Amino acid sequence: MRRRDFMALMGGTAAMGVLPARFGQAQTRAESLRILSEAGPNSLDIIGVGVNRNSIQATWNVYDRLVRFTSKPGPGGTLYYDYFALEGELAERWQVSDDKRSITFHLRRNAVFHDGSPVTAEDVKWSLDRVVSLPVGKPQFATGSMTDPAQFEIIDAHTIKVTTPKPDRLTLPNLALTYPVIYNSKVAKQNATAQDPWAAEWLKSNVAGGGPFKLDSFQPGQSLQLSRNDAWTNGPLPGYRRILWQFVPAAQSRRSSLERGDADIVQDVPPVDAVSLSKDDKLKVVGVPMAGAFQFIGMNNAIKPFDNVKVRQAIAYTLPYKQMFEAALFGRGRPLFGGKPGAPETTEFPQPLGYDTDLDKAKALLAEAGLAGGFETTFTFELSMATIAEPLSLLVQEALGKIGVKVTIVKAPAGQLGTMLQKKEVPFFFEASAAYLADPDYFFRIFYHGPTRWNFGSYSNAEFAGLVDKTRYEPDQAVYEKDVRRMIHLAKDEVPIILLWQPTLDTGMQKSVDGYKYQFHRQLELRTLKRV
């Protein structure tokens, strides 16, 4: 190994500490990958209470699932998950019954866990039972009609059947998400107690899996180290033997390490840095608009004057979308403003709602709502999103002033806006969210329906609600698409929330790193990465 490569592996600022010895002993730089992010996982149990986004990255790469989404070409030569195409991971194959109510999975007979023991249907059942028995996993699995351990039936040592009350198009995709990891049930049970039958406490800091990487060490708040599982047979072996993931709070430290060549990958690069780093010939910035993710302006339809559709439409015609897009994201994202109003051209959602800046139309709508003189309101954002929300809110305040609406900006402390939204206390606000599943009826069920926090606009429309319930189990694709188009038309016309854009996920990396794959959970897929 050249001195420069050795120093790069062992380097970094003093604040980052020294790399673990085992990592530094990797045979060559080509076999080792160093990742920096602002924070790390707070748990290694993906369905534990209060787990953060970074926990997904850890568990995704040390555990397997029955099935996974396939890959397709993405922007800039990257890979992109294909939501509408599944392939087996632990499952060698599967069969759907004629009545579409059960799926039988046949496990790979050569699949083993990290300790060398074989993966069996008993392990799969215990793992799926765990999802529907714990409060974090159960609501998500319920979207695929899986709510009871009795629905998971062992046929033999390598075969398991999943049965649902009705045919549900979301059953299979749910099994490819982050929650249904397959545990080595024997190891987990050894670390369970009468008070903790699902070994939740032990699994916070330990791994009982069989995925493409093994856990070598986990130091909360500092680093996580992985090594390749050379016995993994559920896909092509990863390109790296050693992974060191360090947690560096200071954005400038992360950037400097990347520019020096000490770090291979820096995650969640801020838009302003993505623009400048992309001009560095030694580096590359992979930017992918985040599918399912969206940032938006919410209007509580249950609070006056936002209960009036004409007021909501007036706001939608007032916003300076292009200026906000540049000021907040430096143009790095997929716009959801503009487009054609009225009936949709596709059944994809989110999609542009058909609104653009038109102050004359906005003033006319306010007059029709009986508010020609305007009104006063607050506009709330959370301080944790200040980098984006601060410039955006000032532009909102300025623009609405032009139609007589006086806006007072409220900055909620980090972690508090969610509670306020749960209580439906906020009339007008900026927020962000994401949907794992790409089906448009799923999106509407989560974000435009019911009394939950996630119905950000408190939208209530009897026709829309009926269509949400109907489309979930609609077997006729033509009827389904017709109903979805009607829901999109209503969402555009009644604009309970104003979709702004899908932000870009920017990842900075050395040019020698290849095989980046964008996943629905927006965390790194380590399986496909390699050195070139």
pLDDT digits (tens, 9 = 90+) for 467-498: 999 999 998 999 999 999 999 999 999 999 99
Amino acid (1-letter code) at residue 526? L
pLDDT band at 238 (very low <50, low <70, confident <90, very high): very high
Does 329 share its domain with 468?
A: yes
| pLDDT given for residue 492 in this prediction | 96
pLDDT at residue 452 in the model: 87
Domain-located, residue 173: yes
Which of 214-223, 268-277, 282-291, 409-418 shows the lowest per-residue confidence on average (mean pLDDT)? 409-418
Token pair 């030694």: residue: 282
| pLDDT in the model for residue 484 | 97
Percent of the chain scoring above 70 in pLDDT = 95
Last residue of a domain, one of 165, 186, 207: 186
Under 8 Å between Cβ of 417 and 382: yes
Q: Do 444 and 309 share a domain, yes or no? A: yes
Mean pLDDT within 180-196: 97
Tokens of 88: 């087996």
Q: What confidence score (pLDDT) does residue 418 get?
A: 83
Q: Domain range spanning residue 128?
A: 81-186
Residue 216 lies in a domain: no
Structure tokens at 261: 């060549």
Q: Which pair of tokens denotes residue 273?
A: 């840095």
Please give the Cα distance from 63 to 169 (Å, whole number).
25
pLDDT in tens, 304-361: 999 999 999 999 999 999 999 999 999 999 999 998 888 898 999 999 999 999 999 9
Domain membership flag for residue 22: no
Bridge partners (DSSP) listed for residue 72: 80
Quick check: is 116 in a domain? yes
pLDDT of residue 11: 35
User: Residue 515 region, left (φ>0) first, then alpha (ψ -120 to 50), else beta?
Assistant: left
Q: Is residue 310 part of a domain?
A: yes
**Dihedral angle of Cα 168, 171, 177, 181, to the nearest 10 degrees:** 160
Q: Is position 244 within any domain?
A: no
Count of structural domains within the chain: 2
Q: What is the CATH number of the domain that holds 406?
A: 3.10.105.10
The whole-number pLDDT of residue 1 equals 31
**What's the average model confidence in pLDDT over 352-375?**
96
User: 486 and 366, same structural domain?
Assistant: yes
Residues 177 and 297 in one domain: no
Residues 354 and 472 in one domain: yes
3-class DSSP assignment, residue 507? strand
Q: Which residue has the tokens 């087996």?
A: 88
Statement to judge: residues 355 and 489 lie in one domain: yes
The pLDDT assigned to 45 comes to: 96
> Are 152 and 297 members of one domain?
no
**Is 275 a domain residue?**
no
Mean pLDDT of the chain: 92
Structural tokens at position 23? 């990592």
The terminus-to-terminus CA distance of the chain in angstroms comes to 16
Check residue 10 and give its pLDDT: 31
Q: What is the CATH number of the domain that holds 97?
A: 3.90.76.10
The residues pairing with 105 across neighbouring beta strands, listed in sequence order, are 94, 160
Are 308 and 432 in a shared domain? yes
175 plus 312 within the same structural domain: no
Q: Is 69 helix (H, G, I), strand (E, B) or coil?
A: strand
CA 443/CA 454 separation, integer angstroms: 10
Q: Which of 203-212, 319-328, 420-429 has the least mean pLDDT? A: 420-429
Distance of CA 162 to the CA centre of its chain: 25
Rounded alpha-carbon distances, angstroms, from residue 515 to 230, 234, 240, 510: 19, 18, 11, 12
What does the pLDDT average to over 209-219? 97
The CA–CA distances, whole Å, from 198 to 173, 190, 204, 209 equal 24, 10, 11, 14
Contact 365, 317 (CB under 8 A): yes
- The answer as to whether 526 is a domain residue is no
What pLDDT sits at residue 28? 65
Q: Specify whether the CB–CB gap between 70 and 216 falls below 8 A.
A: no
- pLDDT given for residue 12 in this prediction: 36
Average pLDDT over residues 131-159: 95
Co-location of 177 and 304 in the same domain: no
**What confidence tens digit (pLDDT) does each residue in 23-82 have?**
444 456 789 999 999 989 999 999 988 888 899 999 999 999 999 999 999 877 789 999
pLDDT at 532 over 70: yes
Do residues 440 and 297 both lie within one domain? yes
Evaluate if residue 131 carries a pLDDT over 50: yes
Same domain, 160 and 302: no
Which of 159, 186, 213 corresponds to the end of one domain?
186
Question: Domain end: 186, 214, 237, which one?
Answer: 186
- How many residues are given for the chain? 532
